[in-house]
Amino acid sequence: MSHIHIPDGVLPTWLWAGGWVLTLVFVFFAGRLAERNDVRRKVPLLAVVAALMLVAMSSEIVPLAYHVNLTVVAGVLLGPVLSVIAAFIVEVVLAMLGHGGVTVLGLNTLMIASEMVVGWALFRGLVYVLTRRRVRAATFLATVLTLAFTTTLLVGLVAVSGGGNATARETGALDPTTMSFGNPLSAGVFRAGLFDSAGTRAAPAQQPGRPAAEPSLSVARFAAVVYTLGPVGWLLEALISAWVLGYVARVRPGLLWDGPLERRDHAVIGDGQVSG
Amino acid sequence: MNIGSIDRSAVSDLGWLHRISPTAKLAAFTLVLAGVVVTWNLFVACALLILLAATAISARIDLRLALALAAYPALFALIFAAASAPDAMTGTTIVVKAVSAGLAAVTVVLTTPYPQVFAPIQRIVPGIVGDALLMTYRTTFLLLGKLGQLIRAVRLRTGIRGAHPIRMARATTTALGALLLYALDLAQRDYDVMRLRGYSGRLRIPLPHGASRGRDMALLVAAACACAVSVAWRLGWHALNPYSWLLPLAPSVLLGVAATIRLTNQEVAR
């Protein structure tokens, strides 16, 4: 599921603001942990893995409105601490390109980071159970389980934001005389008196001091759509991730088992230059 | 996502918005975004969208690129609205809000070089996060170019055509795997370069001033007015709702003037 494709201004303020606060706390904590040693090696590594995720996300399968994310692959390579930072970087770049909202950036970061961390943990656990010879199976299972988990997280978020009284208030308008919230369009734009004279316009649809009956988001319908379309995306992502990590395990297994921060001396593919 | 075109547009000096200071543009973006977030009135949301379109046209940015980028969130907003909105009015408002927020972000990015967009964020987050953020954008170009080359090479070697979707998918994922290895080697090379150049844990990005302080202030005042209107309509909806339909009129006039001037300039240039 990777990130929330929910526009700015739909989720209640307390939810997205809370997401921002939690994200900043996690990013600062992860940043301080990562800066303890070898910063010069971690900065370019973070940059390339985040860029790799952005490149993957730029290739969209239009009929499904789905794009590859490679979050589990990135999580396996980076580990939990750097994953949080990479998730934040990816979301900042995406938000500035109009892909994903700015207000939901915090929640999106938490969503991607949890996908990377859970994917990393499941991959490690499954490799321990299935052995290192079954990297593709481990990746496939880890990706499907991770995406199912984060999809459920997303539905939970919409349920929290769309089903409760808190959202009913947030989606309405503040009436300064009663300090209560109500939806200005609860009676429809035209019936709300937009084209009537001030004296003959329709009365507000709610009682003073009480929120109007709000048209809140339909969580059940949203869950039905997400759980129907989602598994197609999970399978695609799992197949691609399994293939990519299987290829890496075959060509350069040290990257998976020792980590990309292990020192190596070899050529950059296709560039004909040697780094060392 | 054509990042190359985005960067070309950002570093060119085409319109008035390119010459506004990055700080003023980011502050104006925040104000307009606040206006979009606050409103649930379709007319207010439409007025903000038209105002942003007028700004984009007058700033002489590539409209096809801007609209393509801004329409991208609309696709997902449409799905979200169809899945969860209780009625067509709310659904339409959700989509308009998504496009407005997207167009606001895209207008900033298409008129500001990326180091200047990310510099304020870089200053408040830990050094490793800010520096990696700046390097990510640059690396994305390299990887996009490399992915195109790898896919072409794999297709040429395997003779794949559209009739073999499974073989094509396998070739594409192999290209992704090779890209991953290339990316990690690139990180190693970047590390070597940074070590050689004496990187000490913080990249310094200066924030330039705008060409005119007056223009910076004018942009901020306009953005503050847009935000204030949105807040006013939310707070005083009892009294103001009957006049909501008036709101898109003024931005529409601005849009018409901006489009006419741009078309006339294009004719003169020909």
Residues A60 and A114 reside in one and the same domain:
yes
Note the pLDDT of residue A64. 52
Query: Is A36 in the same domain as A107?
Result: yes
**Cβ <8 Å between A269 and B38:** no
The answer to whether the Cβ–Cβ distance between B241 and A192 falls below 8 Å is: yes
CATH number, position A69: 1.10.1760.20
Looking at residue B149, its pLDDT comes to 84
Size of interface A-B (CB pairs under 8 A): 317
A5 occurs within a structural domain: no
- Considering the domain architecture, whether residues A128 and A181 belong to the same structural domain is answered as no
pLDDT tens-place string over residues A40-71 = 788 888 999 999 998 888 765 544 556 778 89
- Please state the pTM of the whole predicted model: 0.81
Alpha carbons within 13 A on the beta-carbon side of A202: 16
Q: What is the pLDDT of residue A171?
A: 47
Of the pLDDT bands very low, low, confident and very high (cuts 50, 70, 90), residue A21 is: very high
Q: Would you say residue A215 has pLDDT above 60?
A: no
A125/A142 Cα distance (integer angstroms)? 9
Q: Are residues A181 and A253 in the same domain?
A: no
Of residues B251 and A183, which shows the higher confidence score?
A: B251
Q: Is residue A4 part of a domain?
A: no
Pick the closest to residue A260 from A252, A269, A268 (CA basis). Answer: A252
Report the chain B residue with the minimal C-alpha distance to residue A259.
B184
Tens-digit pLDDT profile for residues B52-108? 999 999 988 888 888 888 887 888 788 778 777 777 888 888 899 989 999 999 999
Domain's final residue, options A215, A242, A269: A215
For B174-231, write each residue's pLDDT tens digit.
Answer: 778 888 888 888 888 888 888 788 777 777 777 777 778 888 999 999 999 999 999 9
Q: Are residues A192 and A153 in the same domain?
A: no
Does residue A262 belong to any structural domain of this protein? no
pLDDT attached to residue B65:
86
State the nearest Cα–Cα gap between A235 and chain B, in angstroms. 13
User: Is the same domain home to A71 and A194?
Assistant: no
Residues facing residue A182 across a β-bridge: A173
Residues of chain B with C-beta less than 8 angstroms from the C-beta of A27: 125-126, 129
Cα gap B251→A178, rounded to integer Å: 33
Q: What was the pLDDT predicted at A164?
A: 42
Nearest CB to B238; choose among A45, A204, A275: A204
Domain with A198 in it: 177-215
Residue A97 or A145, more confident: A145
Structure tokens at B45: 């949301």
Kindly state whether residue A115 falls inside one of the protein's structural domains: yes
Rounded to an integer, the average pLDDT of A67-95 is: 90
Nearest CA in chain B to A268: B185
Residue B129 to residue A42, Cβ atoms within 8 A: no
Whether residue A64 lies inside any domain: the answer is yes
Q: Is position A267 within any domain?
A: no
List pLDDT tens digits, range B12-56. Answer: 877 888 889 888 999 999 999 999 988 888 899 999 999 999 999
A40 and A117 together in one domain: yes
Nearest-Cα distance to chain B for A245, in Å, is 7
| Average pLDDT across chain A, whole number | 75
Q: Of B69, B76, B95, which has the smallest distance from its Cβ to A65's Cβ?
A: B76
Output the pLDDT for position B126.
Answer: 87
Q: Is the pLDDT of residue B132 over 80?
A: yes
The domain spans of chain B are 3-112+212-269, 124-196
Residue contact A70–B143, C-beta within 8 A? no
Contact: A55, B241; criterion CB under 8 Å: no
Q: Are residues A59 and A84 in the same domain?
A: yes
Same domain, A116 and A211: no
CB contact under 8 A, B84 and A255: no
Do both A90 and A195 map to the same domain? no
**Chain A residues with CB-CB distance to B127 below 8 A:** 31, 35, 39
Domain count, chain A: 2
Residue at token pair 């750097």: A82
* Chain A residues inside the 8 Å CB shell of B190: 43-44, 47-48
Secondary structure, 3-state, A59-118: CEEHHHCEECCCHHHHHHHHHHHHHHHHHHHHHHHHHHCCCCCCCCHHHHHHHHHHHHHH
Q: Are residues A243 and A129 in the same domain?
A: yes
A142 within some domain: yes
Same domain, A192 and A87: no
Radius of gyration for chain A, computed over Cα atoms and rounded to the nearest angstrom: 23
For B116, list phi and psi in degrees, rounded to 5. -75, -30
Q: Are strands A173-175 and A60-61 parallel, antiparallel or unpaired?
A: unpaired
Residue A201 pLDDT grade (very low, low, confident, very high; cuts 50, 70, 90): very low
